[in-house]
Chains A and B, each alone.
Chain A
Amino acid sequence: MSEAPAAPPAGSADPAPAHGIDLLLKPPRPRAAWRLLPARVGAMCAVELQKLRHDRTELYTRAVQPALWLLIFGQTFTRIRAIPTGGIPYVDYLAPGIIAQSAMFIAIFYGIQIIWERDAGILNKLLVTPTPRSALITGKAFAAGVKSLVQAVVVLLIAALLGVALTWNPLKLLAVAAIVVLGSAFFSCLSMTIAGIVLSRDRLMGFGQAITMPLFFGSNALYPVSVMPGWLQAASRANPLSYEVDALRGLLLGTPHHLASDFAVLLVAAALGVTAASALLGRLAR
């Protein structure tokens, strides 16, 4: 056992009183219950944006894969004309699918972050604040949504540079943002739910890799549902990514869509995800 640190000498400089601490004597007043959820969501989103501001490496490296999808896969299949796209170039058809895919890839591994926060003690510290677990999960889910949204903007710019004919209607872009955030909120909750079950980063990594490709290829991101075999069409109808892509394609390209039902499905999926992840958060707090 090491020696005790020296006691502060009598009359030594007192670190605290040298500065005003009047505010540290007064506990803040609790917010009204209805303001608590948006406040926590705001706090978690702010943290995500601050981290992105300090380190943009992930933003750049994560842009490589979607760029390659659009540049190589998109350009090649545009020339082949093998996939029925309703008369639009394949790269245009593909762009909303790649936006949804890159947002999902960020969100689906968000559970790793919560396990890291558990191991670092950050999660326990947050759980000892006056934040209900459902508010904490909702905050994290929307923070993942914000991170995905920044990524979506990058992919959108790449698509525009490649000549994809996207809408620049601000209202439609706002709706695109809402769809991306909602979709990412669901996938991050799915990830945090799995984190609450498997409890380890390595296992979650395995699960994440096992489900991302089936979710991607089992959706309408690369090809229309109508060309899929029957069993895959059924799976696609249960896949929230399909609804996200359908909405994004409709908003960005003006293709036929079901915006109201797409939005409703994503909203319900996100709500169910928050419920499941909140219920399992206690397992991570042990």
Chain B
Amino acid sequence: MTRDTGRRQADAVACTGLAHAFDDTSAVDGLDLTVRPGEVFGLLGPNGAGKTTAIRCITTLLPVPAGMVRVFGHDAAGDRMAVRRLLGYVPQQLSADAGLTGRENVALFARVFDVPRRERAERVAQALAAVDLADAADRLAATYSGGMVRRLELAQALVSAPRLLILDEPTIGLDPIARTGVWEHIGAVRAATGMTVLVTTHYMDEADQYCDRVALMHRGRIRALGTPAELRERLGARRRAAPGALPTLEDVFRDVAGSGLDDEAGDFRDVRSTRRTARRVG
């Protein structure tokens, strides 16, 4: 542990002055962010807001050139292996290997997280059962529906008993029933394990419904932070809305992003990846 040991329990994520630039383009510009243990935290923002870059710094995929990132007190720049052992990560793309069965997909992550051979099969079975894929475990992932693949990825992340589950656009492209299924399983697993969930999403309604707190990012910084209800109430008070006609989280999003949505936000690869994911799950 670190200097945070004076606190009763280290924050799940603590970013202080995090900055990251690609050549001359600043992606994250002095990000201050705290995610509390056990909460479902939504990181929202338009394309190019810096969400993915921030997530990649937290997951150690990118270096931390300026500022500080800590995950449960471990420095993401200096103690990468310790941070990775605490993480379960589901990227935006459909990242299950279609050439393997569901069970083999999960077993791979059990192996790379050093699950001992004697408990590997049971642990993999529990992870698959936790996302309702026990019956489909021995089918190739290529035969799964989009919602099943997302649940399989969740099982891959859960098999190492992470303390922090990071989900990048977990429901993109799914139909409403599949989205409900994914969120149900996230909620159930979180309730059973007490893990912290950090999620990015473009679906404001999902964030409103399932996140304990949300942060709205724009141009590399947090522009609004609080519970969805707090953010709506704040905007409602500013607009002097009637109590029964509070703005939606989407209104808050529009208020924060304003007309300053960047036409160049989200590079070609990001957009192609998003569309490919949506197409594959659709």
Contact = CB atoms under 8 A, between A and B. Distances in A.
Contacts of B179: 4-5
Contacts of A21: 126, 129-130, 189, 192-193
A47 B114 contact: no
Given A19-B129, A129-B84, A130-B81, 10 more contacts: A5-B183, A7-B180, A15-B131, A21-B189, A24-B192, A24-B193, A28-B160, A28-B161, A125-B89, A128-B60
A16 B189 contact: yes
A5 B180 contact: yes
B43 to A, nearest CB: 17
B24 to A, nearest CB: 16
Contact of B159 (A3, A24, A127, A128): A24
A14 interface: yes
Nearest to A40: B112
A126 B185 contact: no
Interface residues of A, number: 53
B114 A31 contact: yes
Nearest to A22: B126
A7 B114 contact: no
Interface stretch (B5-13, B33-41, B198-206, B212-220): B198-206
Nearest to B128: A19
Contacts of B56: 124, 285
A232 B259 CA distance: 64
A130 B84 contact: yes
B73 interface: no
Say whether chain A's binding surface is mostly helix, strand, loop, or mixed: loop
A6 B92 contact: no
Interface string A1-40: 1111111100010111111111111111111000010011
Contacts, number: 179
Nearest to A286: B62
Interface stretch (A50-58, A63-71, A77-85, A95-103): A50-58
Contact of B85 (A6, A27, A286): A27
Contact of B61 (A36, A47, A128): A128
Nearest to A14: B188
Contact of A119 (B59, B111, B273): B273
B183 to A, nearest CB: 6
B279 to A, nearest CB: 13
A255 to B, nearest CB: 39
A122 interface: yes
Interface in B188-232: 188-189, 191-193, 202-206, 208-210
A124 B202 CA distance: 21
A232 B88 CA distance: 52
B274 to A, nearest CB: 12
A26 B161 CA distance: 6
A286 B57 CA distance: 11
Nearest to B124: A23
Contacts of B134: 19
B112 A51 contact: no
B177 interface: yes
Contacts of A5: 171, 176-177, 179-180, 183, 206
Interface string B105-132: 0001111111110010011001101111
A39 B115 CA distance: 11
A211 interface: no
A24 B112 contact: no
Contacts of A39: 111, 114
Interface string B127-162: 101111010000010000000000000001011111
A121 B184 contact: no
B85 A30 contact: yes
B97 interface: yes
Contacts of B69: none
B100 A24 contact: no
Contacts of A47: 97, 100, 104, 108
A25 B161 contact: yes
A224 B81 CA distance: 49
A3 B109 CA distance: 33
A187 to B, nearest CB: 22
A19 B126 contact: yes
A278 to B, nearest CB: 14
A124 B91 contact: yes
A16 B130 contact: yes
